[in-house]
Chains A and B, each alone.
Chain A
């Protein structure tokens, strides 16, 4: 832990996403559209961890993640932990959960699915399995695994 502190300073206010699956950090930044924002963000890749062998960490200054962002994060890295930081202290520690219904977050890979062919229809997926992440389109029934998830 002290090593990490030497690398990146603690933040006063904001969010620290810890225990991101190693190598997924950059993807998390992209999906949460954080890289284009004006806040200061630190991304640590392949940090040595006690729980996992390697992990990524993201520190976002002056911004607390909202529920929708946390849902997206849950699909990308279900073991991640969201720490809300206020005045240098952890004000809230959120264990994230994959929602049972995933709405407007993921593209349906079936080009012939009605949700890809009708104006005003949002995509909708049902969580089938959390362990080996698998979700299913509520319209066409297509099942997709973690590695094939394409975020909106």
Chain B
């Protein structure tokens, strides 16, 4: 394994070994145990567009393993503005570090970077393209919460059209024999280019009630205001897909709710204290998963 541009770069065996290692690394991620596995190693975080969560969790993961980080969080501080190409920036940064995390507003940026870099490139999000470590942490959360990844029934709710998170996760879960339920307004339905590739059973629904009781996992995404030309339309649609604790009476007791965060009001705060809420643990899981990946990429395991 050299670069991780998309989740397709990781086969199931590799995914399972990463998730297993992430689980072992939980005490280190929590700061309860120390590790110096990556002592003396340097990770570059090159963020051509802001993403606090992804950048900070990579930096935390690297430092928990005894390594250190260099990088930038904002391209205005770099020679990008002087007209330097991404390829040139990456070649330079690759010479300064043992791996590079790249976040870029253009699709395919990480793929291009992987073609010019001597050190591993990790895609931290490329425009509307891929974000493989988000998919990994979603898979890890499901496995930790439910106990397995195979043969589950997973619902995806909200904006399924524009949300790349749910596209990649659907394709990844399909590799583990998952039955998928897509719940969204028609205008925000899962695109065909995603469903065309699915090999397991899937179905679309306009509301959650009829299928909630079947689900092992419900993955909720934010419906963004800017997708609707009319504010009233937005309010009506967003209101119809809101989750609250009362609604969850119809769910299996062990059903878990995930959300990539930040949430606005698609999950009511009264859900936070129910046994279904897994989204805060999910956000934390970015650390052990990225630690496992960094160990394998930089530590050569």
* B106 & A112 in contact (Cβ 8 Å cutoff): yes
Inter-chain contacts of A120 with B (CB < 8 A): 85, 87
Inter-chain contacts of A57 with B (CB < 8 A): none
* A121 & B112 in contact (Cβ 8 Å cutoff): yes
Q: Is B86 an interface residue (CB 8 A)?
A: yes
Q: Is A16 an interface residue (CB 8 A)?
A: no
Knowing A112-B128, A141-B129, A143-B193, say if A118 contacts B107 (CB, 8 Å): no
Expressed in whole angstroms, the Cα–Cα distance for A118 and B89 within the complex equals 12
Pick from A112, A139, A141, A142: contact of B112, CB under 8 Å: A139
* B108 & A113 in contact (Cβ 8 Å cutoff): yes
Inter-chain contacts of B105 with A (CB < 8 A): 112
Knowing A112-B127, A112-B128, say if A141 contacts B87 (CB, 8 Å): no
Q: Is A48 an interface residue (CB 8 A)?
A: no
* A114 & B85 in contact (Cβ 8 Å cutoff): no
* B106 & A114 in contact (Cβ 8 Å cutoff): yes
Inter-chain contacts of B104 with A (CB < 8 A): 114
Knowing A112-B128, A143-B193, say if A119 contacts B108 (CB, 8 Å): no
Inter-chain contacts of A89 with B (CB < 8 A): none
Pick from A110, A117, A119, A139: contact of B111, CB under 8 Å: A139
Residue in B86, B112, B126, B128 with the greatest tally of chain A CB atoms within 10 Å = B112
Q: How many A-B residue pairs have CB under 8 A?
A: 48
Expressed in whole angstroms, the Cα–Cα distance for A149 and B292 within the complex equals 42
Knowing A141-B129, A143-B193, say if A115 contacts B85 (CB, 8 Å): no
Inter-chain contacts of B267 with A (CB < 8 A): none
Interface of A is mostly: loop
Inter-chain contacts of A137 with B (CB < 8 A): 108
Q: Is B109 an interface residue (CB 8 A)?
A: yes
Knowing A112-B128, A120-B85, A121-B87, say if A140 contacts B108 (CB, 8 Å): yes
* B128 & A114 in contact (Cβ 8 Å cutoff): no
- Interface range, A side: 10 to 19
Within 8 A of B (CB), among A125-151: 137-143
Residue in A118, A120, A137, A142 with the greatest tally of chain B CB atoms within 10 Å = A118
Inter-chain contacts of A121 with B (CB < 8 A): 87, 112
Inter-chain contacts of A117 with B (CB < 8 A): 106
Taking the nearest CB of chain A, how far is it from the CB of B115, in angstroms? 9
Expressed in whole angstroms, the Cα–Cα distance for A51 and B112 within the complex equals 43
Expressed in whole angstroms, the Cα–Cα distance for A115 and B111 within the complex equals 10
Inter-chain contacts of A142 with B (CB < 8 A): 107
**Which residue of A is nearest B86, CB measured?**
A118
**Which residue of B is nearest A108, CB measured?**
B108
Taking the nearest CB of chain B, how far is it from the CB of A115, in angstroms? 6
Expressed in whole angstroms, the Cα–Cα distance for A110 and B215 within the complex equals 36
Residue in A119, A121, A138, A140 with the greatest tally of chain B CB atoms within 10 Å = A140
16 more A-B residue pairs beyond the given contacts A120-B87, A139-B112, with a C-beta to C-beta distance below 8 A: A110-B107, A112-B105, A112-B106, A112-B127, A113-B107, A114-B104, A114-B106, A114-B107, A114-B126, A139-B111, A140-B107, A140-B127, A141-B107, A141-B108, A142-B107, A143-B193
Q: Which residues of A contact B (CB under 8 A)?
A: 110, 112-115, 117-121, 137-143
**5 nearest A-B pairs in the assembled complex, by CB-CB distance:** A139-B108, A140-B107, A114-B108, A140-B108, A114-B106
A-B contact pairs, 29 of them (CB 8 A): A112-B105, A112-B127, A113-B106, A113-B107, A114-B86, A114-B109, A114-B111, A114-B126, A115-B108, A115-B112, A118-B86, A118-B87, A118-B106, A119-B85, A120-B87, A121-B112, A137-B108, A138-B111, A139-B107, A139-B108, A139-B112, A140-B106, A140-B107, A140-B108, A140-B127, A140-B129, A141-B108, A141-B129, A143-B193
